[in-house]
Structure 1
Amino acid sequence: MESLSGIIPSNVMVEILACLPARSLIRFRCVSKSWRSLLSEPFFVTMWLNRSGTSLLVVPLEWENRDQCSLVFENVSIGMKNLNLPVGDKWISVSVIGSSRDGSLICLTGLSYTRRRASKQAIILWSPFTGEVKALGNKGCVHCHRWPVCTESLIQGYNSACCNQYLVHGFGYELNARDYKVVRITYSRGVVREDDSPIRPWLVEVYSLRSDTWKSLGRPSFTWTVRGNSRAFVNGSAHWLAAPTADAPYNSIVAFDMKEEAFGEVIELPRLENLLQFSLNPRGKATLSVSHGSLALIAFGIWNREECGIWVMKEYGVVESWTKQHHIVLPIGSTVRAALGLTGRGKMLLRMVDEKLMCCDVEDMQISEVGIQGRGAESSFDVIDLGGGDPTLRNQAGLDSLLTILNHK
C-alpha cells in the first residue's frame, strides 16, 4: 500500500480492493502488514459485502451431480457460476447444514456407502475460497433394509420409518469465543431393532472448530422429534421445528445455544387461530428461516400448496411478537414441493414438483426461475443464503470478517 500511495490515492486503492473477489483478497493479505490490517477492518468488510451482492449456494441432491453445486448471485449482473464440491466419488449424497455469513466457511453433511444396507455419515467443513476441506467422521453405521431408497431422507436429517437411526445437525458461530460449532443430534431405536419400536433422541454432541474436538453431552432429557438440518441460526442458537412424537404435527421450536452448549426453553409457534388454514404436518413442508435477523416461519395451506404464509418473530422468544408478514398466493399451476428459505433480499426459494428451482419476491409475489433444475423425480435441492449483500443481516454465523476462518490458523 505504501509503495503505491504515491501513484494511486489511498481512497481509490480501497475502492479497487472492495471490487475484488474474496480469493484475491485472501492472497493480498500476504502483501504487507498494512494490507492485512486494511483487509480485516470492519469498514472495509462492510464495503466489500455491499459490493459483492447476495449469493446463494445451491446443491442439487442427485446421484449424477453429487459433486456439483452452483453459486448464484442475486445481483443479476454477476450471474451464476458452478463449483465442485469437495466430496469425491465415495459420497452418495450431500446436504448443506449452514455457512458463515460471508461464505468463507460452508458446512455440509455427506453420506457414504460402506457395505450392503449400511452407510456412514460425515460432516464436511469447506472453504471454497481456499479449497481447504476438513471431514469430521461419525462413529458407526446407519443400517437400513430399504437402502438406498431412503438416502435422501437420511442426508436431510429425518427418518423414513425404515432405519434404526438418523442424524440432525446445526451450525453456528459463538461470537465471544470466535468459534464455529456444529451440533449433532442422534435419533435411534437403541438396542431394540424392531421397525415398530419408537425412535428417540439418543445422543447430543458438539464440535468446536477452534479446539478441533467433539464433546458428548450425553443422552438428552427431551423427547421432541426434530427433522432436518437447522435452517435458522438466530440469537446465537440453531433452531428446529419440533413435534411431540414422530407422527404428530409441529407444535413448537427448539433451540440449541452455541455458547451455553445446551438446549434452551421451547419457543412457541404463532397462536393456533392464526394457523388454522396452514399445515404444520411434517409432510406439509413447513420450515423455519430467517428474515432480516429475525426468526421466521414459512407454512403452506392445508388444501392449497399455492398459498403460503410467512410469520416473523419481532422480539426473540416472545410469542406475542409473532407477526404475519406476508400472505402469498402463487400463480395457478405453481405447484410447490417445498420452501427452501428466505434470502437476504426478500425473496423465497421454492422447490417445485417439476424439480425446478424458483424464486418468489415476497413483496410483489412475482415468481421467476433461478435457472437450475433437477434431472428426475428423485432429485432435490438444498440452498443456503450466504447473505453477502446486506451487512446488517445477522442470520448467519461469522459476523466479524470475511476472513474469519483464516484467523483460526
Structure 2
Amino acid sequence: MSATTLEPTPADVHQYDFSRLKPYQHPPESKADLPWAELVTLDLEDYHRSGGKERLAKQLEHAVHHVGFFYVKNFGLTQEQVDQQFTLAQSFFELPVEEKEKYEVNYAAADYNGWRRPGRHTQGGVKDNIEMYNFAKFTKDFEGKYQHPDLLKAHLPEIETFHRALHANVVLPLLRLFAIILQLPDEEYLSRQHTYEEKSEDHFRYMLYYPRTEEEWKNSNYGKGGGHTDLGTVTLLFRQPVAGLQILGEDNNWTYVSAQPGTITVNLADTISHLTGGWLKSSVHRVVAPPDDQRQYKRTGLLYFARPHNKTVLAPITDSPVLQKAGVQPRFDKLVTMEEWVRAKQTLQLNPEIAKKRWAEKGDGTVEVLAGFHDRRYKE
C-alpha cells in the first residue's frame, strides 16, 4: 500500500492560513442618536516617557474611583494582529456545533475555559444569545489541560503572543498606575500579584452575540436586566461598533460606551475592588439590544480578563494612605482567596439552576456569593 495516502496534502497543511479564512469585517456604525458616556483615554506611549506614569495616574484617578471605565490606546499590538483575532473568532463560531461541543466547558466544575454554548440561560422565556470560547493562560499550569479544534491549534502561537502582549503591555502598566493612585510605597505591589507565569485564572475570550427577533428582544426586556460587574481585576474589550454596551453612572443613569478607533475599552472589576475595600470601582455594565439600524448584525467581541494569582487573599491593602483616609473595610466576613472567589462566582454564572435557587433564597434581589459578600440586581 502506498504511504502517500497517510501524508497530509499541502491543502491540509495550509487550510487554516489567514489567506484562506474569510476576513472579519465590522458592521457599520449606528446612526442613532444615543447617550454616550464621556470616558478618558490613556495614551500608553506616554507610560515610558519621563514623568509619564505620574501624568497617566493623575489622568486616571477620577475614572477608577468614580466611573470604572476608560480607554487605552497605543498598546503595542498592530491593527493586523487585532484583525486576525477577529477573523479567528468568526471562523471558530462558524464551525459545526458537533465540532465545537468537543471542547465544551465543564460547567459543574465552574471551569470557564473552552466553548460555552448559547441558550443555557433563559430570561422572559427567551434563551440567551451568547456564545463564547475562552483560552487559559499559556503556562505550565494549563499545559495539556485543554484541547482546541484544528483551526485554533494552527494559530496558537499568534493567540499566545496576543494573550501575553495584553498582559505585559496593558494589565501590568495599569496596575502600576493604580499603585501610584493609591500612593503605595511599592509601585510593584499589585503587579507582583498578577505575574503571568504564576497560576491564575486570566483568560482571553472570543464572544458572539447573535441577532434576535423583535419579539425575542421584547420578551427579554431588551437585555435591560443584565446589569453586572465582572469578577476579576480588569477586563479589556476590543473595539467593535455594534452599540449595546452600557455603564451605570453615579447618577443612576445608563449611558452607551462608544467604539473608539484604535482603542481598548477597560473596565475595573470585583477583585481590584475587594483589594481596595471598594475604593477602586467595579463598574456595573450590561449589553442591551442594538439600535434598530444594527439589529440584524452579529456582535463579535475579543476580551481579556485579568485576575490575580489564585492564592491572593482578597483583603484591603493596608499601607495605602488613600485607603486609610477613606476608612475602607473588608468586603468579606472571613479571609477569602482568589481561587475561592472565582469558584463561587463562576458556579453562579455557569449553572442556571443553582443560580435561580440561590437568588430566590432571600427574595430581595440579592444573592450571597461568598462569605457575606452579596451581588444584587441593578436598575433596569
TM-score for both structures, normalised by structure 1: 0.25
Normalized per residue, the structure richer in strand is: 1
Q: Which has the higher contact order (CA 8 A, sep 6+)?
A: 2
Normalized per residue, the structure richer in helix is: 2
TM-score for both structures, normalised by structure 2: 0.26
